[in-house]
Amino acid sequence: MVNDAKDRFMDQPAEFQSLLCDAETPLYEGCTKFTKLSAFVRLWNLKVGSGWSNTSFTFLLELIKDMLPIDNELPTSMYEARKTLSSLRMEYEKIHACPNDYTFIVKRIQH
């Protein structure tokens, strides 16, 4: 993933450096399981896959941030989350394909 991102960000070294930093920064001091980026991507995947609204996702981010140690790196709002997404150049599109309201998520990465 990092190598693909590096190729896409050759003309934007500051954005790539920020992405690399997020991929290496522990979620909180002493955390060995999640980085700032990996935690956010996992939570975003839950949001998209479960059809959560932006408001409910913001509430979740605020709650989890309060549960973690004080100096954690988790974003606290959709605004901060969108900054991370834009640096990853990720977007999603919901496609309603069933009368029973099942939603299929299509993920696209812009190149």
Helix (H) or strand (E) holding 15: helix 13-24
Structural domain boundaries, residue 17: 1-87
Domain contains 30: yes
Q: pLDDT tens-digit profile of 27-80? A: 999 999 999 999 998 998 899 889 889 899 999 999 999 999 999 999 988 888
CA nearest to 37, candidates 88, 108, 71: 88
Residue 2 has pLDDT above 50, yes or no: yes
Domain contains 93: no
Which pLDDT value is given to residue 17? 78
Domain contains 105: no
Domain contains 107: no
Residue 111: which pLDDT band, with cuts at 50, 70 and 90?
very low
| Residue 92 buriedness (CB in 10 A; 0-12 / 13-18 / 19+) | middle
Q: Structurally, how many domains does the chain consist of?
A: 1
